[in-house]
Structure 1
Amino acid sequence: PVRDGDFTIERREGVPYALLVLDYRCPGAAEAHEVRSGLFADSEGYVRDTKTIVTYDLDLRTGSTALDAEHRSFSTHQSWAERFWQFFRLGAEHLLTGIDHILFLLALVVGSRRLREIVLAATTFTLAHSVTFLLAAIGLVRAPASFVEPVIALSIALVAGWHLSRIRRRGSHATDLETGDRGRLGLDRAGSTRLAVVFCFGLVHGLGFASALGIDQAWSWTLLWSLLVFNMGIEAVQLAIIALVFPVLALLRRRQPVAGLWVTGAIAAGVALMGLVWFVQRVL
């Protein structure tokens, strides 16, 4: 490889990143190319894991893939299913290891009074963060981490605090729907307001997802496909968490209303406190 220009160092989510562009000359007569990522060897000991996003255009073959410590190489003859799984797995792992996004989702679950509410909230969150995630990842929208990260933390605290405020104002009737006309979505005024708040915060969370990949380049259909699959991995884990947690809380609320209120209130309080702590830390 030949270095193309100088290297730069920047910070993402409080971690220093080095950006180095390398130009490779590959044999033109090869039937396939194998690309390996060996920047940090296993014996190096300091860097525990790396994730490398690769977009390639070699010998009339285009595609993209994701490399990490367990998958250090790929062939340009890799199948569609292999490429799909690599980015799907990367998205799933990102949400599972991103405790702030999991807590935001948990705040949505405990604050939802009906199945309709959590489905609409999850769908709204998905649509909102998908828009900004894709726009930011391909370089069309940019927001500094100094703004995105504190707002994500604040969103966690506010969404969890919504449920706490209803418990404080309505007591044992916190999970009841308000009387009066409901909109086309079957939500009362409180549910509609919460949905609007979730959408706004979802836009910011999309910027956080894009920052995790660190992609900033011109429009590419190959890259867009990879980002969509990455997003599908995020959504699969999100739906799995909802499917596991919401039925348990719903059953508890139905069988033991008082206990259900205490449990959801305790969860919301813990999530809100964690969000506020993160907000102060990220602002400072």
Structure 2
Amino acid sequence: MLFRWLVVLGAVAILLVPQPAGAHGFSSTVYVTVGHGEQGHVRTALELEYDLLVVSAADAHGDDQLFRDGDAAFRDGDAAGQAAALAAHADAALHYVTERFQVTAGGQACTPSRAGDFTIGRQEGVPYAGLSLDWACPPASEHEIRAGLFADAEGYVKGVKTIVTYDLDGHSGSAALDAGHAAFSTGQAWYQRFWEFFRLGAEHLLTGIDHILFLLALIAGSRRLREIVLAATSFTLAHSVTFMLAALGAVDAPAHLVEPVIALSIAVVAVWHLLKPAQDLPEKGLDRAGWIRLAVVFCFGLVHGLGFAGALGIDEPWSWTLLWSLLVFNVGIEVVQLGIIAAAFPLLMLLRRHAPKAGRWTTGGVAAGVAAMGLIWFFQRAL
């Protein structure tokens, strides 16, 4: 039995080797802080992935020298050189940003100007360029922020998110923008702002295939409803704890450690199903192996929570508004997770009941494929 599944695992691994190392694909996050400036102006501070800004601005404005200077500084890891490259080509970089990021007041466009030099920092282990803009706006009680930086059509990344932290017009909080929802207004109701985070959480799980495969591994390895309920609850509690702590800044784990462990967790949970002996379940509760599996799922859930927090990328002092935004983001994740379980687990149970042999092959094949993909991602991310 074990030899058969190891053969399946190897075959699936060979078929899936071309898959990319990053299960979330090539994406990026833009961070924006919005507040009141002097003389009634609006001040925005943007943080953009440095190398992405360089290639996008150079391509948009035909500035090949910006690409050469910026790429050389990026390869050298020279923060001062990176800032100097942007300063030398400030017009191209500024035009690129302001053509794709706007502030309006009462429906009228605000006029931007650069407020200070470019700075270089780091986010998620890569250099980020800082750019402060001052916006001259007509008098208005509401402002709208619209973001379209690094659009999919440019061909460099996909699914860019813009996380906006604002304190403007008597309102404060955070908003999550993307291509489908590119703008928000300070006049939006609280439920409209929270809906953005719910949608972002749901979309993150749906587009994060590594987390979906982890759930499929849990489903394939569960033989009764109580097993998958306990496993899913354990996973939810664990990732909720670390997600909230990391998003609020209490815990910080580098992505180059978190991402390989997430991939390894997928493989371990799937292989567990392939290796465990077939035996009767106790009438009530779990046997020793069941409790061990639950503990393993909980530990890996802690790591997955760090991955969810990294996707959101909020860097803001604690507030009730932020706390509720994070909770709603987490609820979006949970709704999709429950939907996947509700759709897949009953089908597997029906198959196991009415066609036991086919059910064993199906769950075994799913587990083998998930394990293969997890191992491939682990080695790709670890190297």
Deviation at 1:21, TM superposition (A): 5.0
Q: Which residue of 2 aligns with 1:272?
A: 371
For each residue in 1:16-74, what CA deviation from the matched residue of structure 2 results, as whole angstroms up to 9, or x when unmatched?
Answer: 56242535467695211111224346875545442111121113212321111232221
Structure 2 partner of 1:177: 281
Q: Aligned ranges for residues 131-142 of structure 1 at < 5 Å?
A: 131-142=241-252
DSSP-derived class of the 1:18 partner: strand
Alignment match, 1:164: 274
| Residue type at the aligned position of 2:381 | R
Residue 22 of structure 1 is matched in structure 2 by 132
Paired residues of 1:4 and 1:23 also in contact (CA < 8 A): no
Residue 238 (str. 1) matches residue 337 (str. 2): yes
Higher RCO structure, 1 or 2 (CA under 8 Å, sep 6+): 1
Structural mapping, 1:78-97, within 5 Å: 78-97=188-207
Q: Could you say what the CA RMSD is over the residues aligned between the two structures, in angstroms?
A: 2.3
Say which SS state the counterpart of residue 113 (structure 1) adopts: coil
Aligned with 1:30: secondary structure?
coil
* 3-state SS in 2 of match to 1:229: helix
For 1:1-284, list aligned pairs within 5 A. 2-3=115-116, 6-11=119-124, 16=126, 18-20=128-130, 22=132, 24=134, 30-40=140-150, 44=154, 46-166=156-276, 169-170=277-278, 173=279, 176-178=280-282, 186-284=285-383
Q: Whole-Å Cα distance in 1 between the matches of residues 357 and 154 of structure 2? A: 54
Call closer, same or farther: CA 1:277–1:128 in 2, change over 3 Å.
same
Look up the match of 2:52. Answer: none
CA distance in 2, matches of 1:90, 1:17: 24
Deviations 1:241-281 (A, max 9, x none): 00000000011111122221111111101111111111111
2:61 corresponding residue in structure 1: none
Deviates more, 1:201-210 or 1:44-53: 44-53
Distance 1:43 1:126, change over 3 A: closer
Between Structure 1 and Structure 2, which shows a larger proportion of strand residues?
2
TM-score, with length taken from structure 1:
0.87
Q: Structure 2 CA distance, aligned partners of 1:115 and 1:43?
A: 44
- In structure 2, C-alpha distance between the alignment counterparts of 1:132 and 1:3, rounded to whole Å: 36
Question: TM-score with structure 2 length normalisation?
Answer: 0.66
Conserved? CA contact 1:7–1:21, under 8 Å: no
Aligned-residue sequence identity (percent) comes to: 68
Q: Which amino acid aligns with 1:127?
A: L
| Equivalent residue letter for 2:128 | A
Q: Structure 2: which 5+ residue stretches go unaligned?
A: 1-42, 44-114
Deviates more, 1:264-273 or 1:46-55: 46-55
| Unmatched 5+ stretches in structure 1 | none
Count residues with an aligned counterpart. Answer: 270
Which amino acid in 1 is paired with 2:121? T
